Structure 1
């Protein structure tokens, strides 16, 4: 093969490779992104994308995770439970799946099961991205179970991670009030009201605690 022929051959080869790579790039760009749809609040769209991904690859853990998140956002807990359990079969230590199973159990009223999932999350991911929410859910679960001192500990930890959440401070006040820690409850209620002066539950809780201290 002469020099000119080699040059033309290589040029043609590079051109073919360029268009092949361009085609693959465009296909990747056009492929719908379930996680992005979820983050944009398009939960039905995310579910549809995940279903297609699972049809193409039933071992795609990411699809089960995003599917479960989206279904929980739509309060479709029974459906979410099935997909989350499948995700757990694929990886029993995936903390995202463990956390979402805790949320599903929480919303379905399976309190002790939810506590176990959230405790497992804390063990596996003590600084995980959902650790603040996990402690908040634990606090609410302990309130449901009448374990107010445990609720105090969990919610105190939650507000340490997110100190600007008035609702969490209010629930901390409620837990402390029911644990008999009236002065500490007042501090929590006052913090809640400093963040949101219109929070009626915190206003009522603060009044109850002050009346308890004065005996009126």
Structure 2
């Protein structure tokens, strides 16, 4: 009799089977003993990703806070918490977690995304100069993200930096010529 293959939560997540991935992670977490910190943190990470994709942000926060009790400086968990708080509209908490991520992992694989979320948060708060800095850093890390360039244009427009807003909107349209948000942004600044 062949041994049954272990179900891989990460594989399920990558396939878009978020509910199944979450269930596997919860089962894994209930089976670990106190010495299994590394696999526990891997399960918490994939669990957070799945919950966020499912829009279950409160649960993502709850499990993320529990995960930090096991490993306080796991940047994957910190980023998950920032993202969950971002979607919940908890601006200050989200920014706090994103700033922790940047401090702990300034070259991490999610650094561009983290700066993008920070920029969007600052836009929501009406802090357009802060948003300009964060989104400029986001596009530095991921220069091919047309929508991020458009949001940078919007932040600069909000900060009344018309010339640099135009540059950002134009870059967005170079990357994606059909991006309506960037086209409308250019129209707005050219009318004023």
Q: CA deviation at 1:138?
A: 0.4
Distance 1:58 1:169, change over 3 A: farther
Query: Equivalents in 2 of 1:42, 1:58: separation in Å?
Result: 27
Q: Does 1:191 align with 2:166?
A: no
Distance 1:31 1:153, change over 3 A: same
Q: RCO (CA 8 Å, sep 6+): is it higher in 1 or 2?
A: 2
> TM-score normalized by structure 1?
0.83
Query: Equivalents in 2 of 1:154, 1:55: separation in Å?
Result: 39
| Matches for 1:78-157 after TM superposition, within 5 Å | 78-157=58-137
Structure 1 unmatched runs, 5+: 1-22
Structure 2 unmatched runs, 5+: 35-39
Count of aligned pairs? 187
Query: Equivalents in 1 of 2:107, 2:170: separation in Å?
Result: 28
Q: CA deviation at 1:171?
A: 0.2
Q: CA deviation at 1:47?
A: 1.1
Please give the per-residue CA displacement for 1:5-62, whole angstroms capped at 9, x wherever unaligned: xxxxxxxxxxxxxxxxxx8xx64x7011111111221111111211211121165222
Structure possessing the higher radius of gyration over alpha carbons: 1
Query: Equivalents in 2 of 1:180, 1:55: separation in Å?
Result: 53
The aligned counterpart of 1:174 is 154
Distance 1:55 1:195, change over 3 A: same
The aligned counterpart of 2:5 is 30
User: What do you get for the CA RMSD once the two structures are aligned?
Assistant: 1.4
The aligned counterpart of 1:10 is none
Query: Equivalents in 2 of 1:149, 1:209: separation in Å?
Result: 17
| Matches for 1:32-47 after TM superposition, within 5 Å | 32-47=7-22
- Which 4+ runs in 1 deviate beyond 4 A? none
The aligned counterpart of 1:200 is 180
